[in-house]
């Protein structure tokens, strides 16, 4: 049975900081953010918003747009790494908010959980819900899979340049208008790692930045290897001599902690894929350097990162490789459009891959490309760490959804924060009622209980 993404909606907070202002305040060259990382603006949550609010606002949008009744929703899953309770699942808060609009008990029949595995958990939730549909358990109902996060790092750290916030919700069913998942090819990799993690009670993560960059690429490559085996074994793809699996994928959507990570990961995967192919010889000639190898090719990530001579040569090689016409072609045609939204919004952790998918659809459609039947490959990564690679085909009805996408309009009106305002928000110095904006027709957080007997209880309202 077919299963896939029927529609997609986003909710992005209206406050943002500008990369140039931020760089100036931190004494960093603005080019490092804009060109080096691909960050122009970072969305920031107001004092009366939390990840559950963002998720509920996204859910309301998709339900209203599709005139969905609560009875037609069989499952509501939330994936997040910004959880604020160790026991009560975030989807229960969202159900509570939605019932303020749809009526008490309207979602009583619905099931679902909150899932966690850093930024990859949304992909697991998507896979599990697609399988719920494929198994015939959905009985005509839809699943809502929401990915919602606030990417927040300690002030003054290098991670602070890669913040953001927002939620994406996907409507999953057996007649998807946007994308039908390719069956029997979803591939995963997993390893016990400490590249990025957030211990209990800590609001911000502990990050080993360069380690996490390299681990991301290694784990996705491993999952891609398995994907390739599955795609060939299942007959989804047949490789002619000299072909790579990437030649059979029209668009690549990668996890985007910052937009240039997509380009970095693409370069890494393409190098890995093309190295064995006849075309590599010509590319090496064009680059004019041999591909560098670490002193200990079977070494650990630490030993590779510690091999400074290799790292410098590899950096230079990658820069030259990304300038070749062969790489430029694959970058422009398969990846570039998925990076646009990330530059404007920043890191959404679990949601960043799916914001990239939405960006790819909108901006490829605007380029006048016929997307019908195009294959989209997804490279999902979660620190800690696990990767998932999967794919799907864009469906004939996609225009019904994509023609109305307008990121600029959805983001507006945005308010730029001064650095002083941003730092006040970052350090949680204000209460929910001291919000910077007074939005209407949105769910907002009103109060978090601090009494001993009801500590942590959250109260939300729909702001009429």
Q: Is 31 near ligand CAA (CB under 6 A)?
A: yes
Q: Which of 82, 383, 391, 395 binds ligand CAA (CB under 6 A)?
A: 383
Q: Is 463 near ligand CAA (CB under 6 A)?
A: no
Q: Which of 2, 21, 25, 36 binds ligand CAA (CB under 6 A)?
A: 36
Q: Smaller CB distance to ligand CAA: residue 49 or 383?
A: 383
**Contact pattern from residue 176 through residue 205 relative to ligand CAA, giving x for each residue in contact according to CB under 6 A and a dash for the rest:** --------------------x---------
Q: Smaller CB distance to ligand CAA: residue 91 or 350?
A: 350
**Contact pattern from residue 246 through residue 285 relative to ligand CAA, giving x for each residue in contact according to CB under 6 A and a dash for the rest:** ---------x-x---x--x---------------------
Q: Of 104, 7, 93, nearest to 49 (Cα)? A: 93
Q: Smaller CB distance to ligand CAA: residue 354 or 381?
A: 381
Q: Is 209 near ligand CAA (CB under 6 A)?
A: yes
Q: Is 292 near ligand CAA (CB under 6 A)?
A: no
In whole angstroms, how close is the CB of 39 to ligand CAA at the nearest point? 9
Q: Is 381 near ligand CAA (CB under 6 A)?
A: yes
Q: Is 306 near ligand CAA (CB under 6 A)?
A: no
Distance CA 400, CA 26 (A): 44
Q: Smaller CB distance to ligand CAA: residue 36 or 299?
A: 36
Q: Is 162 near ligand CAA (CB under 6 A)?
A: yes
Q: Is 313 near ligand CAA (CB under 6 A)?
A: no
Q: Site for ligand CAA (CB under 6 A): how many residues?
A: 28
User: How many CB atoms are located within 10 Å of the residue 241 CB?
Assistant: 6
In whole angstroms, how close is the CB of 49 to ligand CAA at the nearest point? 20
Q: Of 142, 127, 177, 129, nearest to 5 (Cα)? A: 177
Q: What angle do CA 391, 395, 401 make, to 5 degrees?
A: 110
Q: Is 2 near ligand CAA (CB under 6 A)?
A: no
Q: Smaller CB distance to ligand CAA: residue 35 or 109?
A: 35
Q: Is 213 near ligand CAA (CB under 6 A)?
A: yes
Q: Is 158 near ligand CAA (CB under 6 A)?
A: yes
Q: Which of 24, 35, 109, 429 binds ligand CAA (CB under 6 A)?
A: 35
In whole angstroms, how close is the CB of 230 to ligand CAA at the nearest point? 24
In whole angstroms, how close is the CB of 34 to ligand CAA at the nearest point? 8
In whole angstroms, how close is the CB of 15 to ligand CAA at the nearest point? 21
* Structure token digits, residue 307: 């091999």
Omega within 30 of 0 (cis) for the link into 385: yes
In whole angstroms, how close is the CB of 339 to ligand CAA at the nearest point? 14
Q: Smaller CB distance to ligand CAA: residue 213 or 435?
A: 213
User: How many CB atoms are located within 10 Å of the residue 408 CB?
Assistant: 9
Q: Smaller CB distance to ligand CAA: residue 115 or 383?
A: 383
In whole angstroms, how close is the CB of 21 to ligand CAA at the nearest point? 16
Q: Is 404 near ligand CAA (CB under 6 A)?
A: no
Judged by the rule CB under 6 A, the positions of this chain that interact with ligand CAA are: 29, 31-32, 35-37, 118-119, 158-159, 161-162, 196, 207, 209-210, 212-213, 216, 255, 257, 261, 264, 315, 347, 349, 381, 383
């Amino acid at each position: 049975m077919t299963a896939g993404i029927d529609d997609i909606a986003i909710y992005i907070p209206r406050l943002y900081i500008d990369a140039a202002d931020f760089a100036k305040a931190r004494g960093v060259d603005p080019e490092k953010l804009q060109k080096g990382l691909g960050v122009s603006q970072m969305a920031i949550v107001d004092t009366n918003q939390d990840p559950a609010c963002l998720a509920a606002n996204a859910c309301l949008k998709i339900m209203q747009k599709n005139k969905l009744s609560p009875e037609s929703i069989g499952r509501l899953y939330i994936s997040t790494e910004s959880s604020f309770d160790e026991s009560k699942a975030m989807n229960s808060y969202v159900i509570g908010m939605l019932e303020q609009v749809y009526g008490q008990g309207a979602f009583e029949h619905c099931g679902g959980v909150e899932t966690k595995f850093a930024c990859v958990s949304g992909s697991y939730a998507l896979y599990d819900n697609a399988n719920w549909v494929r198994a015939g358990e959905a009985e005509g109902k839809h699943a809502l899979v929401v990915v919602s996060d606030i990417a927040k790092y300690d002030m003054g750290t290098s991670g602070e340049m890669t913040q953001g916030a927002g939620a994406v919700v996907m409507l999953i069913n057996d007649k998807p208008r946007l994308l039908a998942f390719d069956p029997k090819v979803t591939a995963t990799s997993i390893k016990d790692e400490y590249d990025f993690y957030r211990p209990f009670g800590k609001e911000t993560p502990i990050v080993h930045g360069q380690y996490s960059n390299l681990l991301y690429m290694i784990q996705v490559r491993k999952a891609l290897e398995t994907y390739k085996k599955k795609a060939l074994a299942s007959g989804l793809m047949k490789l002619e001599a000299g072909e790579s699996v990437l030649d059979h994928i029209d668009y690549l959507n990668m996890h985007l902690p910052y937009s240039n990570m997509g380009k970095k990961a693409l370069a890494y995967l393409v190098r890995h894929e093309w190295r064995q192919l006849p075309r590599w010889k010509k590319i090496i000639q064009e680059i004019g350097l041999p591909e560098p190898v670490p002193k200990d090719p079977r070494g650990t990530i630490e030993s590779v990162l510690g091999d400074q001579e290799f790292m410098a040569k590899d950096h230079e090689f990658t820069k030259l490789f990304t300038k070749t016409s062969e790489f430029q072609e694959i970058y422009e045609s398969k990846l570039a459009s998925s990076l646009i939204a990330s530059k404007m919004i920043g890191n959404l952790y679990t949601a960043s891959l799916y914001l990239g998918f939405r960006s790819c659809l909108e901006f490829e459609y605007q380029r006048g490309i016929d997307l019908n039947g195009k294959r989209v490959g997804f490279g999902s990564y979660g620190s800690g760490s696990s990767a998932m690679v999967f794919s799907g085909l864009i469906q004939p009805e996609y225009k019904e959804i994509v023609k109305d996408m307008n990121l600029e309009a959805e983001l507006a009106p945005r308010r730029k924060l001064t650095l002083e305002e941003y730092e006040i928000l970052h350090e949680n110095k204000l209460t929910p009622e001291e919000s910077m904006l007074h939005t209407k027709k949105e769910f907002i957080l009103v109060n978090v209980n601090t009494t001993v007997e009801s500590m942590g209880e959250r109260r939300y309202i729909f702001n009429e």
